[in-house]
Structure 1
Amino acid sequence: MPVVPLADIQRAAERIRSSVVRTPLEASASLSRLVSVPVHLKMEHRQRTGAFKLRGAANAVLSLPPGTRGVVAASTGNHGRALAHAAREAGLACTICLSHLVPANKVAAVEALGARVHVHGASQDDAQREADRLERDEGLVAVPPFDHAAIVAGQGTIGLEIVEDLPDVTAVLVPLSGGGLIAGVAAAVKALAPDVRIVGVSMERGAAMAASLRAGHPVEVAELTTLADSLGGGIGLANRWTFDAVRELVDEVVLLTEAEISAGVRYIYQEEHEVVEGAAAVGVSALLSGRFRPRGATVALLSGRNIDPALHLRILNGADALEVGA
């Protein structure tokens, strides 16, 4: 079973220590009052590139063999930004493939880090096919956004920090997409505290991992526009790592409407004074909507802040969810 061992996650923590921020775990008085148990927010949106993805990307790049010519990846935005940053720090060329669904602010952010950008196709799967072509034709090393042992181990360092900072944690709410984040966090948390409940949270519109879990194997789904755009894309029909890990380690999956996601973004800004993207708000949204009812100390992982400012403003002003997310 391809679950990344705790020792690999601990080695990743040492490897990336100088490359990433050890983000804080902060108590939320408002959410704690609302659900009547202690709620803490893991502030991973404060990571150097504005999202958790830097941990996995840095671990993967720092694990590459000498003489690597360059790296390539498909991304919905945040992995591309993280890989571009990590590659620049290591002096490597970087190419990122993005679909036309990726918001313009995320495309610009990747370009600003010096990466070569290919905008290709109408879905993450289309972008992945372009990345595969460049890997084959140009001899680049693929660093995929989630289905990669070094990526999973890097993201798992978040789980180490959560257990260290909150030993009595009973549940961790984690955004669920391709599974790299939740597979790593779950592997670390379950190894250190086996009784902690790991809850994956995603959107109703095009959640590929949720559909694959229901089917019992990886499946393709239509990629739809959503406020949680970072959670879009497939998991790969030839998935090697994350599907089995999620099936083994994740206790529950919660799916949210666009209205519930927008309510979470709004709440986090109004009550916590933090700017997050839709994908990062889903844990809080699950608590606000009552779709997850905690029984003890709970952590919601805020995974990224790279939201288009105009979209964020429309959400704060109460725009209809279908207007901003569909």
Structure 2
Amino acid sequence: MMEHFHLNTPLLESADMARRVGTTVYLKMENSQPSGSFKIRGIGHLCQQLARQSMGVVCASGGNAGMAAAYAARKIGVPATIVVPSSSPELVFQKLKDQGATVKIIGKVWDDADAEALRLAGTEGLIYVPPFDHPLLWQGHASMISEVAATLGPSRKPGAVVVSVGGGGLLCGVIQGLKDVGWMDVPVVAMETVGADCFNAAVKAGRMVTLDDITSEAKCLGAKTICKKAFEYSQCSELTVISELVTDQQALHAVETFLDEERVLVEMACGAALAAVYSGLIGRLQAEGRLPTPLGPLLVIVCGGSSINMEQLTNLKHKLRT
């Protein structure tokens, strides 16, 4: 049995959030993973399966996937090359170097960096680590739902799960996890910010859509196209996947409120999920009849994030409030 690189993260109850939504709120604290986010579950799993005998790994990432790939590679003992877009915060470059990774800055958005990562995989014989679009990733991410089920027990099924969506890897993992534990009837509220909304655009269009650009400050949600599996789940009649948007301002407000109330700092991408509670969106979905009333316990995936510190938070406040 191979050791996992991820931790069984705490499942905390939030009294402040419960007061806002009128039901128990559980927080799955993926921010406490060794790489700073949930990504280590899937990427750790993929690297264990594919990278042990390799020349090294290469991953394109604005932050969290790169951190997870660098961490997993260091644990396995192979080199990691992380290709980051120039839009990533300086903080991310430094953290990746601290994990022992080689960092290359290519292009403005993730898609540019990804093209270079694929090229390097081909020319240098490296294992390509996709940030969100691979069955091994979803299998790894699914473990967080198994942990929740083990902690809550069979009689405490969530009323809904709230999750942030970037490229769709976490969404696919959560849905696979719900399948694994027999919770297929639990609705999933998939949250994005305006300007990083490739999933919502696809759901509205009824087909895969590629965004022209990422204009949101939630850079870690910044994939221009959702992965095909996530889109297929949104169209599946056996599942309830509710796609919703919040503004950057609402996501930032959620980050600040979470820091005040729960004493934890997470990045904007995670703030999108938290904003479902703080902006009153859960109540609105209930009023519209899209979520049940009364609602069973709400499970919020606190996906975390490595590209945030106080300086970055101050910059975001300045940008979004001027």
Question: TM over 0.5, yes or no?
Answer: yes
Q: State the one-letter code of the partner of 1:46.
A: S
| Alpha-carbon distance, 1:272 to partner | 0.9
Aligned pairs (5 A) from 1:119-134: 119-134=105-120
| Alpha-carbon distance, 1:322 to partner | 4.9
Question: Is 1:228 matched up with 2:214?
Answer: no
Instruction: Give the corresponding residue for 1:11.
Output: none
Distance of aligned partners of 1:178 and 1:161 in 2 relative to their CA distance in 1, 3 Å threshold: same
Aligned pairs (5 A) from 1:88-237: 88-166=74-152, 167-191=156-180, 192-235=182-225
Q: State the one-letter code of the partner of 2:30.
A: E
Segments of structure 1 that go 5 or more residues without pairing to the other structure are 1-13
CA distance in structure 1 between the partners assigned to 2:122 and 2:42 by the alignment: 23
Q: Retained in 1: the 8 A contact 2:203–2:243?
A: no
Structure 1 range deviating more: 39-48 or 204-213: 204-213
Aligned pairs (5 A) from 1:1-326: 15=2, 17=4, 19-64=5-50, 67-166=53-152, 167-191=156-180, 192-235=182-225, 239=227, 241-248=229-236, 249=239, 251-293=241-283, 295-306=295-306, 307-313=308-314, 319=318, 321-323=320-322
| Alpha-carbon distance, 1:314 to partner | 5.3
Q: CA RMSD in A?
A: 2.0
| Alpha-carbon distance, 1:235 to partner | 3.1
Matched position secondary structure for 1:201: strand
1:10-30 deviation line (CA, Å, top 9, x unaligned) = xxxx7553x211111111001
| Alpha-carbon distance, 1:301 to partner | 1.1
Q: Retained in 2: the 8 A contact 1:146–1:242?
A: no
Residue correspondences, number: 305
1:126-171 deviation line (CA, Å, top 9, x unaligned) = 1111111111211211110010111111111111112222333111
Distance of aligned partners of 1:80 and 1:66 in 2 relative to their CA distance in 1, 3 Å threshold: closer
Q: Retained in 1: the 8 A contact 2:11–2:28?
A: yes
| Alpha-carbon distance, 1:245 to partner | 3.6
Segments of structure 2 that go 5 or more residues without pairing to the other structure are 287-294
- TM-score, L = length of structure 1: 0.87
Q: Retained in 2: the 8 A contact 1:103–1:308?
A: no
- TM-score, L = length of structure 2: 0.88
Instruction: Give the corresponding residue for 2:290.
Output: none
CA distance in structure 1 between the partners assigned to 2:95 and 2:277 by the alignment: 31
Q: Which runs of 4+ in 1 moved over 6 A?
A: none
Q: State the one-letter code of the partner of 2:137.
A: I
Q: Retained in 1: the 8 A contact 2:132–2:167?
A: yes
CA distance in structure 2 between the partners assigned to 1:262 and 1:146 by the alignment: 24
Q: Retained in 2: the 8 A contact 1:259–1:320?
A: no
CA distance in structure 2 between the partners assigned to 1:240 and 1:251 by the alignment: 15
CA distance in structure 1 between the partners assigned to 2:270 and 2:116 by the alignment: 27
1:188-246 deviation line (CA, Å, top 9, x unaligned) = 1144212211111110113112222223332221333433221112236xx55443245
Distance of aligned partners of 1:20 and 1:65 in 2 relative to their CA distance in 1, 3 Å threshold: closer
CA distance in structure 2 between the partners assigned to 1:107 and 1:217 by the alignment: 35
1:281-309 deviation line (CA, Å, top 9, x unaligned) = 22221112122236221011111142132
